[in-house]
Amino acid sequence: MTKQEMTNKCNEALGTKGFIIKSRDDQDFSAFTYNKKENKYELIDGLHCGWVEEKKYIDEKEANAKLRERTEPWLTALFQSEHLSLLCGSGLTNAISLLAGAKSGANMDINANAFTVFSEHIKKFAEDSAIKAGREKANIEDYIRTANELLRGLRILKSRKADELANNLKTILSNFANSILKGEYDIATADEEKRTNAFNTLVNFLLSFCSRTGNRERLHIFTTNYDRLIEAGAEIAGIHLLDRFVGNLMPIFRSSRLNIDLHYNPPGIRNEPRFLEGVAQFTKRHGAVDWVLTEDEIRRIGLPFGAEQIKPYLQAPGLKDCNEMKLMIFPNSAKDKETAEYPYVELFRDLAASICRPNSTLVTYAYGFGDDHINRVIKDMLTIPSTHLVIISFDDPGSRILNFYLDVSRPAQTTLMIGNIFGDIKRLTDTFLPKAAIDRTTIKMVEILQKRMGPLSEKSDNK
């Protein structure tokens, strides 16, 4: 079976609400299509799965238990790697929005007619760059990036059309920022019961990763999203996020990478500080809607979660000449020269420094592998034999995930969990992710039972 035939069959399986899985000692991934008439998941022809019986299918009623057996203990072990990182894409916002009964996140589409100058040139270049990145069509990030490059050239040429293009960009960025805020607003004002359920799911999702033993390095969360959903969930969960911003009223971005952490001294113990639970490093790879450039500093403004407009919050006395063009949400997902611009070079280094280390595990959730510069760092990570990549996704648009997996060709270092059965954040959190802070207690319980009743107690307990 050729690579193209394999990816086509797998996408057909995902289209029927099937799934793709590779975990533990599987030599390669298995893809199952969903048979709606018989309520079962059937292994597609041409692929092998060693842990299903000769019937080559899994009953829908048994799917949760069967797949949990293959994934939960495996993820529990991986989550206690020496270094653990989580990369979240836009699908996280969409998943929580749907749970809350709201619309999806920021609108990434754009009308090419929004540009009153050079619209055809911008559209052509944006579409070409999107195709090179493996995306079917250009989105607003491609258009903004292309227009920014063109604006630099026009200003070098001292063209009269530079001001008109700058005004176009200002309007587009303002609308984009407001669409990000609209996504937050829809969640914040959703039906209380649904909203509570959505945030509880988000809290449990984050705690599954943050529950690390004291002798392990902190979880490092990365996101390509511009919204503040992770920050809102962490605040509810009581998780302390350590980022590069220093200060309280209007935090300022610092380039220094100090190993700042939170410790405490237990009563009666001197000179032996212990790690405070619920602390994680946090990096927003593409900036955020509340980051602004004021003079030569990047600051985070006091923009409430769920605010309807951003313009009133840019008119504070300390934000001199700030407008929508000063928002640090400029996309930079195609070329290395863009990632070299401040502050993105610092954020880019954080990703490489965090994951490209021995005994490191990276978990991606709802990330579509559409950013070449991020994919390149992940490839470099997998050149270290003791590293591992876990990919969890609702679907695989454009077969970017499978193409990445097949191109890198590191099956022993990769776990795949693709499909709505895994990508549904509530089902994922309730069934497949390790439960927060209980594994040490479970292990201790098993040890006590073994001492009291012998090794058979563990088998009976599992039953």
**pLDDT bracket for residue 258 (50, 70, 90):** low
Does residue 363 share a domain with residue 263?
Answer: yes
Q: pLDDT-derived band of residue 440, with 50, 70 and 90 as boundaries?
A: low
Average pLDDT over residues 350-366: 94
The reply to whether 338 and 462 lie within a common domain is: no
Query: pLDDT per residue over 143-186, tens digit each?
Result: 888 888 898 899 999 999 999 998 998 888 888 888 889 999 99
Any idea what the CATH number is for the domain that residue 205 is in?
3.40.50.1220
| Residues spanned by the domain of 457 | 439-463
Same domain, 459 and 365: no
Position 114 in a domain: no
Of 13-17, 154-158, 184-188, 318-322, the least confident: 318-322
pLDDT at 458: 46
Higher per-residue confidence, 302 vs 321: 302
More confident residue, 451 or 331: 451
Q: Interhelix angle for 344-355 vs 372-382, to 10°?
A: 20
Q: Which tokens go with 57?
A: 């299918």
pLDDT band of residue 437 (cuts 50, 70, 90) is: low
**Positive or negative, the Cα torsion across 235, 310, 189, 395?**
negative
More confident residue, 144 or 463: 144
Q: Does residue 371 fall inside a structural domain?
A: yes
What is the spatial distance between Cα 9 and Cα 14, in angstroms, rounded to a whole number? 9
The verdict on 97 and 30 lying in the same domain is: yes
Residue 137: inside a domain: no
Would you say residue 129 has pLDDT above 90?
A: no
Residues 6+ apart with CB under 8 A from 35: 41, 42, 57
Asked whether 432 and 422 are in contact (CB, 8 A), the reply is yes
Instruction: Tell me how many helices (H) and strands (E) the chain has.
Output: 16, 17
The answer to which of 52-56, 222-226, 387-391 has the lowest mean pLDDT is 52-56
Whether 361 is covered by a domain: the verdict is: yes
Cα 68 to its chain centre, rounded Å, is 22
Same domain, 362 and 449: no
Does any domain span residue 74? yes
Domain count of the fold of the chain: 2
What's residue 463's pLDDT?
46
| Least confident stretch, 257-261, 374-378, 415-419 | 257-261
Q: Are residues 453 and 356 in the same domain?
A: no
Whether residue 334 is predicted with pLDDT greater than 50 in this model: the reply is no
- Please give the residue that has the higher pLDDT: either 366 or 339: 366
Give yes or no: residues 432 and 444 share one domain: no
Whether residues 388 and 462 share a domain: the answer is no
Q: Residue 47 has what pLDDT?
A: 83
Whether 431 and 448 map to the same domain: the answer is no
Q: Is 207 inside a domain boundary?
A: yes
Q: Say if residue 460 is in the same domain as residue 345.
A: no
Of the pLDDT bands very low, low, confident and very high (cuts 50, 70, 90), residue 337 is very low
Could you tell me if 280 and 220 are in contact, meaning their C-beta atoms sit under 8 angstroms apart? yes
Residue 54 lies in a domain: yes
What pLDDT, in 10s, does the model give residues 58-91? 999 999 999 999 999 999 999 989 999 999 998 9
Residue 279, in any domain of the structure: yes
| Mean pLDDT score of the chain | 85
Q: Which long-range contacts (CB under 8 A, 24 or more apart) does 252-256 make?
A: 252/297, 252/298, 252/299, 253/291, 253/297, 253/298, 253/299, 253/300, 253/343, 253/346, 255/343, 255/346
The conformation of residue 302, written as its DSSP 8-state character, comes to: -
What pLDDT does 261 receive? Answer: 79
Among 33-47, 290-304, 329-343, the least confident range: 329-343
Supply the DSSP string of 58-98, one letter for each residue: EEHHHHHHHHHHHHHHHHHHHTTSSEEEEEE-HHHHHHHHH
Q: Are residues 434 and 447 located together in one domain of the fold?
A: no
**254 or 430: which carries more pLDDT confidence?**
430
**Same domain, residue pair 430 and 451:** no
**Residue-level length of the chain:** 463
Instruction: Give the pLDDT score at 106.
Output: 64
